[in-house]
Structure 1
C-alpha cells in the first residue's frame, strides 16, 4: 500500500510542488514554517484541495481522480472535528458505515477500536463531555475504524496540554506501529516528528528543502529553519582543508573539506567571555548580546555580530559574567564541538 504522489497546487502568490513516497507501514512527517505548504499537501492528498498538476497513486491505484469521500483515507484533524451530536461510539462507527458496513457491524468495530484506544468507558459520551486527550483518542479510532490504506494526521497533538501530549504521543506511536498502511503526519513539533516518524520531509516555500531519517536530518541540517528546529547554530561557508570561512569568522573543524560547506554546533558548545581569552583559542569572535531568555534549566543568550548565534549557559554564569542586552562579549567554540559537512 505504498503512496506515490506528485503534488502541484497553484494558489494566488503561492505554489506547492513536491514529490512524496511513503512505503507500507512507514510514517512520513512533513515539517516546515507556517505557510510552507504542509497542510495544503495533506489536504491535496485527502481530496479537500484540488491539484493543479501531478498525481496521487496508492498501491498502484490513482486517487487524484476520485472524490474525497471515495478515497480509502483516514484523517485526524488538528481540532479533531468529531460530530458534536453523536456519541463516541457513533463517531467511530461513522467510517465503517460510510464504507458499507451494516449498523451492527459498524458498532461492533467501533466498540473494538474504543477498547484499543482506552475509551471503552466513554462510548456513550458526546464530544463536549471529553477532554482533549480523550477526543484525540476517539478521533484516531474513528480514522482507523474505516480500515484506511492511507492515514493523514494534521497536528494531531497540538491541542493537548504538555502532560497529556506526553501520554498520547506514546499511545499514538504504538498505534502507528500496528498500522500497515502509509501514514503522513504534519507537525510543527520536532520532538513529535522524531518520535513518531521514520522519515522527515522539510518543506519551505512550497518545495522540499531537505529529507531523510530523523537522525540524519538532526545531524546535518541544510537550512536555517531546520537548524533552529533541531536546536543547532547553522552556517553556510566555504571550506579549505580543516577550515571553513563563514562571513568574517574562520572556523577550525575536525573534518577535511573543500568548497561550499555547512558548519553546525549546539548552543551549549558556545563559551562566553567578558574579555578576550588568553592564548589563541580557535573559533573566536566578538559579539553583542541581543537578548537573554530562560531555556529549560539554563539561560539562552542570543548574540549578534559577524555571525548570529545562540549560547546556552547556566544562570550562575549569567550573574558571574554580568550579562545584559547590548553588552559586548567574546564567544568561542572548540573545533571538536563543531560539525562540518558539504553544502
Structure 2
C-alpha cells in the first residue's frame, strides 16, 4: 500500500505519506485531533482526498488530479471499527458473510467462507448468535473475521481493543497478534495505546497536527523521541537545546550535563525514575541539580509520580516510602537532581 493523504476539513489539513508492505503491520499514533481517524477514513474511501493518491496492490483507488475514485465497497479493504459496527439483525455468520457477498460471492460460498473464519477466531459455536448475544471480546473477533473474510489488500483497525475491559484486552491482544501475523496483506492499526502499538506493530508512525513527526521501528522511537507527545508516550522527560560537548543548554539558558557528547541542535531525554528529590541541594557526585516547585503528586503504578515546575519542568517517580519521608505536597519547594550518566543526548536534526 502506498498513499499520500491530503484532506482539508475546515481549518484542519492532513498531509501524510504512508507506505505499508505486504504482511507488514504499521501503527498510526498521535494525540486527539492529530488526524488518525481522518487518515483511516481516507484510505477506506469514506473521506475523499483533496490531493495525493491511494494505491493498493499496484491499483490506484483514489487520485483527485487524475479524477480516479473507487468507492469504498469496491476497494479490497477490510475495516474493524472501534465500536465494531456489527449488523444487529444478522447472526455472526451472516455478519462475516456480508463482505464476500458484496464482493460477488454466492450466498453458499460466502457462508462457507464465513464459517471458516469464525472457526479460525474460535467462534464456530457462536455462528447463530446475534451481536447482542456476544461478549465484547467475541464481538471484536466477529468484526475481525468479517474484515478478513474479504481477503483484503489492506486491513484497517480503528482502536480495535479500546472497548474491551482489562482482562479481555490481554487475551484478545494475543489473539489479534496471531491473526495479524498470518495476514498476507498490509495492516494499519490506529491506536492511542502504546502497548497495543508495541505488541502488534512492526513499525510506528506518529502524527501531530496532520503531519508525520516521527516514524520507524519501535526501538528507535522509544530510544529517541522527537516531540513532547512521543516522549510522554514512551514515558520520558524530553528537552531540546544546543549541545556543546557534554553540556546541552536549554532555551532559558539552563545547562544540562550529559554523558553523550553532542554539538548543535540536540535533544536530551531521561526517565522519571532517574530524577532524585532532596529537601536541600544535593552534594557529592557530579550531577544536574535545580530548585523546583511540586506542581502535582499522584499514584503511578507502584510508585508516586511527582510533577515538577522550575527551570526544568519534569516528572519524577519516587517510591511511596520516599514520598512519605519527604512529605511531598503541591506547592512545596524541593531540589531535583539527575546524574549525567542517566541522560541520553542525541542530535535533533
TM tier, smaller: over 0.9
CA contact (8 A) 1:281 1:332 kept: no
**What's the offset of the Cα at 1:252?**
1.5
State the match for 2:332 in structure 1: 327
State the match for 1:262 in structure 2: 267
**What's the offset of the Cα at 1:280?**
6.1
State the match for 1:9 in structure 2: 7
State the match for 1:303 in structure 2: 308
1:111 is paired with a residue whose SS is helix
1:236 is paired with a residue whose SS is strand
State the match for 2:100 in structure 1: 96
CA contact (8 A) 2:282 2:289 kept: no
Q: 1:44 aligns with which of 28, 39, 42?
A: 42
CA contact (8 A) 1:238 1:260 kept: yes
Q: Which whole-Å CA distance do the structure 2 matches of 1:105 and 1:45 have between them? A: 28
State the match for 1:294 in structure 2: 299
Is residue 85 of structure 1 aligned with residue 83 of structure 2? Answer: no
CA contact (8 A) 2:282 2:337 kept: no
Show structure 1 runs of 5+ residues with no match.
Answer: none
Q: Which whole-Å CA distance do the structure 1 matches of 2:136 and 2:219 have between them? A: 31
Q: Which whole-Å CA distance do the structure 1 matches of 2:311 and 2:130 have between them? A: 58
1:210 is paired with a residue whose SS is strand
Q: How does 1:212-231 map to 2 (within 5 A)?
A: 212-231=216-235
Q: Which whole-Å CA distance do the structure 1 matches of 2:268 and 2:254 have between them? A: 11
CA contact (8 A) 1:201 1:208 kept: yes
1:241 is paired with a residue whose SS is strand
Greater alpha carbon shift after TM alignment, 5-14 vs 93-102: 93-102
State the match for 1:30 in structure 2: 28
State the match for 1:150 in structure 2: 154
Is residue 233 of structure 1 aligned with residue 242 of structure 2? Answer: no
State the match for 1:72 in structure 2: 76
1:88-129 residue CA offsets vs partner (Å, 9 max, x unmatched)? 011011111111111111111111111111111111110011
CA contact (8 A) 2:78 2:150 kept: yes
**What's the offset of the Cα at 1:224?**
0.3
CA contact (8 A) 1:249 1:285 kept: no
Is residue 201 of structure 1 aligned with residue 167 of structure 2? Answer: no
**What's the offset of the Cα at 1:278?**
2.3
State the match for 1:275 in structure 2: 280
1:194 is paired with a residue whose SS is helix
Greater alpha carbon shift after TM alignment, 119-128 vs 275-284: 275-284
1:160-197 residue CA offsets vs partner (Å, 9 max, x unmatched)? 11111111111101100000101111000011111111
Q: Which whole-Å CA distance do the structure 1 matches of 2:324 and 2:7 have between them? A: 52
**What's the offset of the Cα at 1:295?**
0.5
State the match for 1:253 in structure 2: 258
Q: Which whole-Å CA distance do the structure 2 matches of 1:194 and 1:279 have between them? A: 39
2:261 is paired with a residue whose SS is strand
Q: Which whole-Å CA distance do the structure 2 matches of 1:287 and 1:116 have between them? A: 56
State the match for 2:343 in structure 1: 338
1:86 is paired with a residue whose SS is coil
**What CA RMSD, in Å, does the superposition of the two structures yield over aligned residues?**
0.9
**What's the offset of the Cα at 1:249?**
2.9
Q: Which whole-Å CA distance do the structure 2 matches of 1:95 and 1:58 have between them? A: 18
1:190-216 residue CA offsets vs partner (Å, 9 max, x unmatched)? 111111111111100000111110110
* Residues paired across the two proteins, number: 341
Is residue 113 of structure 1 aligned with residue 121 of structure 2? Answer: no
What TM-score does the superposition give when structure 2 sets the normalisation length?
0.96
Q: Which whole-Å CA distance do the structure 1 matches of 2:261 and 2:159 have between them? A: 41
